[in-house]
Structure 1
Amino acid sequence: MIALFVLLALLFLWVLVSHRLSRWSITAPITFAAAGILLSGGDDPVVPLDTDPHTFQRAFEIVLAVMLFTDATEAHEYARLREPVGQVRLLALALPGSLVLATLLGALVFPGTGWWLLAVVALVVMPMDLAPVLMLLRDERLPLRVRAALNIEGGFNDGLISPLFVFCLAHVVSEGDTFGHLVSNALKGAVYAAIVGSVLGFLASKAVRGALRSGWAEPASLRLAGLALPFMAYSASVLVDGNGFVAAFVAGLWYAHVASELSEDSLDLVNDVSHLLALAAWYAFGAVTTQAFVGGHVPQYFAYAVLVLVVARFVPVIASLSGTAFSRPERIAIGWLGPRGVTSIVFSVLAFAQLKGDDADLVVNVTAATVLLSVLLHGVTAEPIARWFARHPQPEEADPVG
């Protein structure tokens, strides 16, 4: 209970000073991760956390499910722009290229490591999490198409990566299962999840629209429906052995259509809950980070972190957007603004719960190094980037970007 009190008290204090701290590029993830390190880290923490693996795993799964739902709804809003903003190139070209490049770089930095484990590591550290630069993505100093491209990419990439992550992780931990059997299980889980998410999302959309038109429900009360849906989709999918993450994401895509017909604040409640859960995850990440880097190889972890933050993302993004209407500064901004965060943290916790020994340590240590560097680098550079674009307005191109 003391951990809950401290977390909520920290949230209250953050709200009071968030605007002032943002001027110094101190973001909420930085604040909560630092608090987790100071208050709940080490062998004798001031605020102890229940770090039971099963509890951690289930809690982080729920956090990711809600985040995927909100990502899907937000990405849908930007996808309604009249002109494409490079989302096809980013998701179909840059994302696979980044995953392949991160895997190859892993083989260079960690020689002798199995390819499937390297693929798991790449899938853990490459998904974007826009939380470290959230204020920037709402800042009108940054060109709209840059914000739209990042939001759509950030909304869809973790939803696309999650089934691949589950499959590769299953291959690493499998004992005697054939490749065909693993593929079959992964496909069944994804198909079941897509069906569950589609059915629930479609029925929820119809029910909400009907209740609103008939006058049976107040628009304000329908915010609770948006909050309940990701939990429903996740739990229903798990009950039928489906991928709960995919189900929550698909349900969000369906529900986004009806949410756009409701009041502007119809998704505020689920977005706020998602933000709160994400901050709790950042706090927990800070607490467990103090237990990382105890087995040596620290320079390798941070070397790989630098490579995946810069090379593995920057090169494929710049290459995929070449020849588009994005200006060079805009392409550079999109390539740089690929922060890592809660998605990587959740994936690493799920991997740690199933892997053993050195394999588990590798995933956790690489994730800790990558996320820590990302929070610092992307959080600190967000405000200077916004100031630069404010001083150097970019021309509005009429040519399509996608």
Structure 2
Amino acid sequence: MIDSLLLVFMLIATLGIGSQWIAWRFRLPAIVVMSIAGLLAGPIFHLINPEEDFGDLYRPFISIAVAIILFEGSLNLNFKEVRGLGKPVFRIVTFGAFLAWILGSLTAHYVAGMSWAVAFVIGGILIVTGPTVILPLLRQSKLKPTPAKILKWEGIIVDPFGALVALFAFEIIIFLSADGRDFTALLLFFLASIFAVFLGYLFGKGIGWMFEEGYIPEFLKSPVVFGTVIACFTIADEVKHETGLLAVTAMGITLANLGISSIKDMRHFKENISILLISTVFILLTASLTRETLLEVFRPEIIAFVILMLFVVRPLSIFLSTFGTDLSKQEKTLVGWIAPRGIVALTVASYFASVLADAGFEGASIVTPLTFALVFSTVVIHGFSIGWLAKKLGLSSEGKPGVIIVGSNRFSVSLAKLLEELKIPTIVTDSSWEKLSKARKEGVTSGHCEILSEQTEYSIDFTPYDYLVSATEFDSYNALVCSTFVPDFGRNNVYRLSTQSHSGDAVENIDHTIGGRVLFSKEDGLEDLIYKINSGYVFRTTTLTKQYDIDAYKNDREHQTIVLLVIKQSNQIEFVTEDLEINAVAGDKIISLTPPSKEFNKIREKLSERETNKSESN
């Protein structure tokens, strides 16, 4: 056991963020990696026991972390964006969530042996799938638009409400199970809940007003939001325990619907702080588990509960809630199977486990192992089965990484057309209908939007796309687009064209850490590429073989040829940049912009071959 509290802090942070990195690097579910790391550090090797190490600070830290995580989820609930999502989504997040709560609660009571109070609390918590687990799975599996949209929005909308359903269920069950029913206590709870909602609304409106009026400088916005969330949670929770969760949820929803320009910055802040907290809290929770708790996971009633939740409760709630909608049987089957519970579910369940245990309810001791068993099982099983099942049901795209091209012009449309011919998902976006007409005329997939608008992520499904290329005529705009989407795509997958020598907006010497990676070379800006296409340059696809390798290709190509990208046999795309050497092997495809003389020579050779064949046949 580590004696130094400072070393414990260091180990928890290192394990949490390190697990996230390993999950990203090797395309694994983050929650699985963090579970293994926490269990190794805690109950297996006994390096740390956070509950003992932190003492009285343990529960307050978990409570604040849960509050910030719920605030993050509620900040996604913009009612304007939710409208018009379609009948299946609406039915699933309302009637479907209610059915899942009732069926899950009945299963927890009759199968897992929990008391009614504990069963209805845990049933409410476990309706949550959550964007932190479902969005990475969607990106990985490349689902078709309809099932991807349903799973995505179910996670976003239901995420903040699982804890609130559990909260109200807890208070009402306490009232109903009391020997002498005190209506005053229930009335006080509802009054405290109204106060919490009003407090969250007031804090949200206040922060929004201060941001809009410029009373808070940019560098203080994130700290102010962070401090305000903690203050909102603490005040409400001091008035009535557990209502702090309701307050921060109301605050997040209020901010999400104010339409203020700083909402994008706050989303980036909450994503960053939420990842840090989720990583830390999950290591804290798993490391605090005892071996006895882990062994409880294998109790027959817990295993039976997990099996019924997987194969009965989820499919039944989806099939009943979507009855009469236009979803196909294949779509219902996929959505009815995929429901990975995540870190939010386990964190909130651990929070309520201590509350239920303090209240003396039967079954509170198995809340944590039961939730851990369901979370771990669903993440592993659904994470590794979603791609296979989607392909079997015909609901998967081909799985090739897609490309978003910002800016509709002769070059971008021609490149997009070629990529689509190679079965690579590609979309050209532009805020101008006139410019976008070029893409529509060529039959290229297009999207009319301002890519920097916060509404775009709801009007365009980003799931099929792994790369972004900004190719507008404005150099500064290209740099801004790339900088904005680095957190979403990663710095190595965001590209822009070189600054233009004549018609650009004179942006030079952009720092290499912003603006995205520069494609091709400094000489090949948009104006140069369009000029070459107008001069007869054509796009060519060259497949390398063992006989015709990369060296032969380099020797054979003309000096003016611009190598654009390499499509690997694994379907990964490597765009050519100034600092990247062309690396291709047999089976890889090289996409290039080739001078017309090369094509004329090819045509001349083919005609010559035909003449030779004719003369030999005669």
Aligning the two structures, in what range does the TM-score lie when normalised by the shorter sequence? 0.7 to 0.9
What is the match of residue 389 of structure 1?
396
What is the match of residue 180 of structure 1?
183
User: Which amino acid is 2:231 matched to?
Assistant: M
Residue 92, structure 1, aligned to residue 82, structure 2: no
Q: Is the 8 A contact 2:15 2:283 kept in 1?
A: no
Pairwise CA RMSD: 3.3
SS at match of 2:160: helix
User: Which amino acid is 1:149 matched to?
Assistant: I
Residues 357 and 108 of structure 1, relative CA distance in 2, 3 Å threshold: closer
Q: Is the 8 A contact 1:163 1:186 kept in 2?
A: no
Task: Provide the rounded CA distance (Å) in 1 between the counterparts of 2:135 and 2:42.
Answer: 25
Residues 315 and 380 of structure 1, relative CA distance in 2, 3 Å threshold: same
- 1:245-290: CA deviation from partner (whole Å, max 9, x where unpaired): 1111111111113466237444211111112211222212322443
What is the match of residue 66 of structure 1?
68
What is the match of residue 202 of structure 1?
205
Task: Provide the rounded CA distance (Å) in 2 between the counterparts of 1:219 and 1:386.
Answer: 44
Unaligned runs of 5+ in 2: 1-5, 400-422, 424-618
What is the match of residue 506 of structure 2?
none
Residues 256 and 96 of structure 1, relative CA distance in 2, 3 Å threshold: same
Q: Is the 8 A contact 1:292 1:368 kept in 2?
A: no
- 1:26-85: CA deviation from partner (whole Å, max 9, x where unpaired): 22111111101011124x612332346754332222222112111112232883565436
What is the match of residue 20 of structure 1?
25
Residue 104, structure 1, aligned to residue 106, structure 2: yes
Task: Provide the rounded CA distance (Å) in 2 between the counterparts of 1:318 and 1:32.
Answer: 33
Identity %: 17
**Higher RCO, Cα 8 Å, sep 6+:** 1
Structure 2 counterparts to residues 84-163 of structure 1, below 5 A? 84=86, 86-110=88-112, 113-138=114-139, 141-163=142-164
What is the match of residue 302 of structure 2?
301
Which moves more between the two structures, 276-285 or 383-392?
383-392
- 1:205-229: CA deviation from partner (whole Å, max 9, x where unpaired): 1221121xxxx65556534444344
User: Which amino acid is 1:240 matched to?
Assistant: V
Task: Provide the rounded CA distance (Å) in 2 between the counterparts of 1:18 and 1:253.
Answer: 30
Task: Provide the rounded CA distance (Å) in 2 between the counterparts of 1:286 and 1:164.
Answer: 25
Structure 2 counterparts to residues 321-360 of structure 1, below 5 A? 321-354=322-355, 355=357, 356=360, 359-360=363-364
What is the match of residue 233 of structure 1?
232
Task: Provide the rounded CA distance (Å) in 2 between the counterparts of 1:234 and 1:58.
Answer: 11
Residues 55 and 358 of structure 1, relative CA distance in 2, 3 Å threshold: farther
Residue 245, structure 1, aligned to residue 245, structure 2: yes
Task: Provide the rounded CA distance (Å) in 2 between the counterparts of 1:139 and 1:223.
Answer: 31
Residues 263 and 131 of structure 1, relative CA distance in 2, 3 Å threshold: closer
Task: Provide the rounded CA distance (Å) in 2 between the counterparts of 1:265 and 1:85.
Answer: 32
Q: Is the 8 A contact 2:236 2:244 kept in 1?
A: yes
Structure 2 counterparts to residues 273-312 of structure 1, below 5 A? 273-289=273-289, 290-294=291-295, 298-312=299-313
Residues 12 and 349 of structure 1, relative CA distance in 2, 3 Å threshold: closer
Which moves more between the two structures, 30-39 or 290-299?
290-299
Is the helix fraction higher in 1 or 2?
A: 1
User: Which amino acid is 2:201 matched to?
Assistant: S
What is the match of residue 370 of structure 2?
366
Task: Provide the rounded CA distance (Å) in 2 between the counterparts of 1:309 and 1:53.
Answer: 36
Give, in angstroms, the shift of residue 201 of structure 1: 0.8
What is the match of residue 48 of structure 2?
47
Task: Provide the rounded CA distance (Å) in 1 between the counterparts of 2:302 and 2:55.
Answer: 23
TM-score by length of 1: 0.82
Task: Provide the rounded CA distance (Å) in 2 between the counterparts of 1:253 and 1:137.
Answer: 25
SS at match of 2:128: coil
Which moves more between the two structures, 94-103 or 180-189?
180-189
Residue 380, structure 1, aligned to residue 421, structure 2: no
User: Which amino acid is 2:196 matched to?
Assistant: A
User: Which amino acid is 1:205 matched to?
Assistant: G
Q: Is the 8 A contact 1:68 1:248 kept in 2?
A: yes
What is the match of residue 166 of structure 1?
167
TM-score by length of 2: 0.56
Task: Provide the rounded CA distance (Å) in 1 between the counterparts of 2:178 and 2:345.
Answer: 25
What is the match of residue 56 of structure 1?
58
- 1:138-164: CA deviation from partner (whole Å, max 9, x where unpaired): 569334454443344333434333344
- 1:98-140: CA deviation from partner (whole Å, max 9, x where unpaired): 11111222343145x5333322232243322333333134569
Residue 6, structure 1, aligned to residue 11, structure 2: yes
Task: Provide the rounded CA distance (Å) in 2 between the counterparts of 1:92 and 1:181.
Answer: 30
Give, in angstroms, the shift of residue 190 of structure 1: 1.9
Who wins on radius of gyration, i.e. which is larger? Answer: 2
Q: Is the 8 A contact 1:133 1:339 kept in 2?
A: yes
Count of residue correspondences: 384
Which moves more between the two structures, 186-195 or 263-272?
263-272
SS at match of 1:183: helix
User: Which amino acid is 2:396 matched to?
Assistant: F
Task: Provide the rounded CA distance (Å) in 1 between the counterparts of 2:305 and 2:317.
Answer: 17
Give, in angstroms, the shift of residue 330 of structure 1: 3.2
User: Which amino acid is 1:367 matched to?
Assistant: T
Give, in angstroms, the shift of residue 11 of structure 1: 4.3
Task: Provide the rounded CA distance (Å) in 2 between the counterparts of 1:7 and 1:133.
Answer: 25
Unaligned runs of 5+ in 1: 394-402
Task: Provide the rounded CA distance (Å) in 2 between the counterparts of 1:86 and 1:390.
Answer: 21
Task: Provide the rounded CA distance (Å) in 2 between the counterparts of 1:358 and 1:227.
Answer: 36
